[in-house]
A and B are shown apart, each in its own frame.
Chain A
């Protein structure tokens, strides 16, 4: 991770063996509306990212920023419409065959946001976990049950035999999410996409789930993309943080650098808006939070944050600012630092 993303070798498999994922110019657009009023929603616009083995990247954005679209595109739940995805040095076709998908998903798994909707209410925990074990041929049929028990133990649902035959309605939200994590682990992936895995859980349980993710990730040298709107949570689990706004990456860098020294005005806004109980009693503090994320069907050519930016100027309008290197892998896309 020394050179900026654009400098990756062209057309060939990346030689860097520590690199798990490389995304170049990833884009996703949808067509919405009925005939005659069809509009294109550009949910994701040229996202570049690299992720090393065992690294945790926090992807932070508001709703409508494209963060969930990014996860779904990377999981091929909605195929991306442009760009390149390189997984462990191999370029993935954007229109994959079922075989391509099967191979890809044995390496890339996902944890869903809603622990209630992501488990089939008619399937026991055992049945849910045995699915990936069987289809990715992780464990022979005779050992499926033992393998499921082992998975449950690894996510802290002990004794596992108490949980194997339970239905989702017999589990709490936190326990369901642990089952969801176990299911993602079952395939023994290299990369897990965690799409707001704690946002639907009580604050008191969020930390235990984040700790679990960290333990698992460190114990297995897993790479993790932690998608959230909570900057503090991203800071807690991530090595690096990327800020996504209106489908564009605006800033990326080591978590500590982004938290202590946010460069982009949007990152600064997020930093200020985040509740911070340890930061002191801030009741009187004002901040300007007018405006909302832009309509993705009518994006102007310049920086997408311009309409809300307190420091917007003429230079922001004509085109998207280029990336600026700030040192130590910290990069920002804002004309203020030209």
Chain B
């Protein structure tokens, strides 16, 4: 596993000057070849903005204010537009929740695939057709749907088709932003399963963005938790599942009703995320936190601490240690 994408100190704002809203603040995140990195958080936590900024798709008024994104050694944010477009789709693909909008409603699926490949330099029609059929087989959409129009497909089929479209150019990294949120559990499950199978076969990395932590627990190698624009915890999937450290992560883990266990009342997370236009001075989660320490949490913004190798958290309960070793 080698480093594929490196996000360093990324800060993204909407608008300019004193009224700018910082949607992503000082986020570090690395994605290695072939791994699944999950990003979880509530709506408005900055997870989608992070994905847009990291792929150079951020539109004004959104602006990268600080930090950078390196993909395979090159500075993605300083690439000229033409080179950036080439990197995207050939190297980095995106799959969004609103799959219907990606597919052109008046073109047959087959033609959309051929167009996409032609636009990216695959001129041999035979090769293009072969590749299309191959990815359709991979995502388990029957080949007869190649001749269909998008509206003739069910929601699940459509989302599989969009995933197939993102795969046809054999990217090395796919960003998936809530790709299954609009779908039913069974379909969602099946799609996640085929994405994982594909990843093993084709060896691409996935950044999976969702508000549903329970999905990530099952599919992600590493999970990053975002809150109010900050990355508040990052750990391997099993580690985060067994030992969530940040009170927000702990609360998120408790926010799912269990399937099997005896039913008992669970507490949701009280309150709401803070207004990004007027973020309180201390920890952004302090107002909703059950373990808040007055005088510290509400005044000092916690720094990221490495608690154990591969597990870092930004919370005053785990003071910054110089060795980067044991927790307090």
Contacts and interface: CB of A to CB of B under 8 A. Distances in A.
Direct contact between A and B in the complex (CB less than 8 angstroms)?
A: yes
Interface of A: 62-63, 172-174, 202-211, 214, 229-233, 235-236, 255-256, 259-260, 269-279, 281-283, 286-287, 289-290, 292
Contact of A204 (B184, B188, B255): B255
A290 B140 contact: yes
A278 B185 contact: no
Given A233-B257, A281-B237, A289 B217 contact: no
B272 A174 contact: yes
Contacts of B185: 62, 229-231, 270, 273-275
Contacts of B265: 211, 214
B263 interface: yes
Interface in B147-166: 154-157
Contacts of B270: 208
27 contacts: A62-B184, A202-B43, A203-B252, A203-B255, A204-B268, A205-B269, A207-B255, A207-B267, A208-B268, A211-B265, A211-B266, A211-B267, A211-B268, A231-B185, A231-B259, A232-B256, A235-B259, A236-B263, A256-B263, A273-B188, A273-B190, A276-B214, A276-B258, A276-B259, A276-B260, A277-B253, A281-B237
Contacts of B269: 204-205, 207-208
Contacts of A272: 189
A248 B215 CA distance: 29
B260 A278 contact: yes
Contact of B257 (A207, A256, A282, A287): A207
A97 B167 CA distance: 56
A277 B42 contact: no
Q: Interface majority SS on A: helix, strand, loop or mixed?
A: helix
Interface in B35-55: 42-43
A232 B257 contact: yes
Q: Which of B185, B189, B267, B272 has the most CB of A within 10 A?
A: B185
B235 to A, nearest CB: 13
B28 to A, nearest CB: 24
Contacts of A255: 263
In order of increasing CB-CB distance, the 7 nearest A-B pairs are A236-B257, A208-B268, A207-B268, A289-B190, A275-B214, A273-B189, A62-B184
Contacts of A270: 185-186
Interface string B124-168: 000000000000000010000000000000111100000000000
A271 B258 CA distance: 12
B103 interface: no
B189 A283 contact: no
Contact of B186 (A62, A207, A256): A62
B257 A203 contact: no
A114 to B, nearest CB: 12
B259 A274 contact: yes
Contacts of B257: 207, 210, 232-233, 235-236
Contact of B219 (A62, A207, A259, A283): A283
A282 B186 contact: no
A278 B260 CA distance: 8
